[in-house]
Amino acid sequence: MLRVSEHYGRQSLQPVENLDTRVVRKILVVSCTAIGDTLFATPCIRAVRHLLPDAEIDLLVREKFLDLFIKNPWIDSISGYKGRYRGGLGLLWQMKTQGYDLCLIFHDSDPCPVQAAFLAGIPFIFRIGQRDEKVARWLSARIPYDQKKHAIDQRLEVVRKVFGIRLDSPEHMKMDLYADPGEGRRLWQAILIKAGLPVTGTRIIGMQFAASGSYKEWPPESFASLAHGLLQASKKHVICLTGSPRDRTQGEKIRGMVRDMAGSSRRVLNLAGKIKLSRFSSFIQGMDLLVSNDTGPLHVAIAVETPTVSLFVPSNAMATGPVQDPAFHRVITKPKPCTPCVEKYCKSPDCMRLITVEEVMETVMDSLSRIHGRHNVNKGGLS
C-alpha cells in the first residue's frame, strides 16, 4: 500500500474552481477495473478529446485488458496497471515523471490511483464514486453516482463537472472500441474452414455463457437448450460459445449437452479462451448476433455494433444495459424475486432461471429476421 503524507502534495492539489482548462496540456484518464467499466468511460475520453483537441491524453487500464483498448482513436498512449497496489510504486513514478495537469478517474473500487496521483503532484484530480471516503481529501472533487442514470451517463458527470458542459445527446453516450472488419472476416473464415463448416451463408450466433459472478449467469442447460433450438431452426446457424480460458471446461459441458439433445455438436464451436484479446473486438464484430449475460463481451458487442440479446435479473439493465442503437439490442429482464437482492453474495443464485428458453429463442429468431442482410451490407460479413 502506498503511504500518503498529508504534506507531500498538499501545495500542488487544487480545488475545482481553480481549474483553467485552457492551459491543460496533459491528461491522465484512469479506468482500471472491468472491461465494461472501461468501455463505459470511452464516451468521456471522446468528449475530452473534442474539448481539448491539442492536449495529450494518456489512458491507464487494467493490464490484462490493455490489448483491447490499445487502438482507442482518442488517446495518445496507453499503459497497464495490475490493480490493488501491485506495481503501485511504478505507477507513482510514471505519474510523477509525465507531468500531468489533470487526472480523471472513472471508478471508485481501488484507492491506489488516487493516492498515486496525489503523491505525484497532479494538481487537479477528479473521481467518480462513493466508496473510499478516506481518499476524498486527496481529490479536487468527487462526483457521486446518480443511481437513476446509466453507468455511461454517471461517468459523463465527471466531464460535465470539470468542463461545465451538458453532453446530453444520444451520440454522447456511444461507446468506442476499435474493430477491423477485414480481420473479423479472415478470422471467421479460418474458424469455419477449420471446423469443416461452410463459409458462405452461415449465420454466426455467439453465446456468452459466463459472467463476472455466477449470480448473473443464465443456467448452462438453458444455453444448451437454446443452442439446440437454434440448430433445429436452421442449418445455416452456427453457435459460438465465448468466454475466458477458465470458462472452457464449462463450454465443453454445454457442447456435450447439445450433443446429447441433437446427436451432434458439429455446429457448436467452443472458442472460450481461444481468441486473443487483441482480436476479440473484430471476432465479436464478425458475429451476426450475441446472446449474453450482463458482462464484458456484451458491452464489446454493443460498442462494435453487433446485435445482441442480453439477459438481466439481479443486475439492472437500466444502469448497465445497452443504450446505443436500441433497434439492434434486445433486453430480456425480470423483476428481482428477493428484496433486498444481495447480488454477488447470494448463496443460491437461481433468479436467472426466471428467464425461459422459449422467450429467449423467440427474441433471438425475431432479431435475426430483423437484421437479415445487415451483416452482409454494413459489416462485410460472411453471408
pLDDT, position 44: 98
What does the alpha-carbon distance between residue 268 and residue 283 come to, in Å, rounded to a whole number?
Answer: 16
Q: Mean per-residue pLDDT for 261-284? A: 96
In the chain, where the domains are located: 16-173, 181-378
Q: Sheet harboring 268-270: ordered strands across?
A: 268-270, 237-242, 203-208, 289-293, 308-312, 329-333
If we measure between CA atoms, which residue out of 168, 172, 150 comes closest to residue 318? 150
pLDDT of 92 strictly over 70:
yes
A 10 A CB-CB count for 184 gives: 24
What does the alpha-carbon distance between residue 292 and residue 287 come to, in Å, rounded to a whole number?
Answer: 13
pLDDT, position 374: 45
Q: Mean per-residue pLDDT for 303-330? A: 95
Q: Sheet harboring 26-31: ordered strands across?
A: 77-81, 56-62, 26-31, 102-105, 124-128, 141-143
Contact 152, 323 (CB under 8 A): yes
pLDDT of 35 strictly over 70:
yes
Q: What is the pLDDT of residues 48-62, one digit of tens each?
A: 999 999 999 999 999
10 Å CB burial of residue 7 (0-12, 13-18, 19+) is exposed
Q: Mean per-residue pLDDT for 189-217? A: 95
Q: Mean per-residue pLDDT for 307-325? A: 95
Q: What are phi and psi of 210, to 5 degrees?
A: -100, 170
Q: What is the mean pLDDT of the chain?
A: 91
A 10 A CB-CB count for 264 gives: 10
pLDDT, position 378: 38
Q: How many residues does the chain have?
A: 383
Segments in 18-150 forming alpha helices (H): 35-51, 66-69, 88-98, 112-119
Query: Binning pLDDT at 50, 70 and 90, where does residue 131 land?
Result: low
Same fold, 16-173 and 181-378: yes
Cβ contacts of 152 within 8 Å, gap of 6 or more: 40, 43, 173, 175, 323
Contact 80, 72 (CB under 8 A): no
pLDDT, position 382: 53
What does the alpha-carbon distance between residue 153 and residue 146 come to, in Å, rounded to a whole number?
Answer: 9
**Which superfamily, per CATH, for 181-378?**
Glycogen Phosphorylase B; (3.40.50.2000)
Q: The domain at 16-173 falls in which architecture?
A: 3-Layer(aba) Sandwich (3.40)
98-107, 131-140, 208-217: least confident range: 131-140
pLDDT, position 3: 46
What does the alpha-carbon distance between residue 43 and residue 237 come to, in Å, rounded to a whole number?
Answer: 34
pLDDT, position 16: 86
**Cell output for 115:** 493516492
Contact 29, 59 (CB under 8 A): yes
Q: How far is CA 53 from the centre of its chain?
A: 25
10 Å CB burial of residue 67 (0-12, 13-18, 19+) is middle
pLDDT of 67 strictly over 50:
yes
pLDDT, position 372: 65
Contact 35, 68 (CB under 8 A): yes
220 or 108, which is more confident = 220
Query: Binning pLDDT at 50, 70 and 90, where does residue 132 land?
Result: low
Q: What is the pLDDT of residues 174-202, one digit of tens each?
A: 999 999 999 999 999 999 999 999 999 99
pLDDT of 71 strictly over 80:
yes
85-99, 127-141, 216-230: least confident range: 127-141
pLDDT of 154 strictly over 60:
yes
Query: Binning pLDDT at 50, 70 and 90, where does residue 8 land?
Result: very low
pLDDT, position 61: 96
10 Å CB burial of residue 325 (0-12, 13-18, 19+) is middle
Share of the chain above pLDDT 70, in %: 93
Query: Binning pLDDT at 50, 70 and 90, where does residue 371 land?
Result: confident
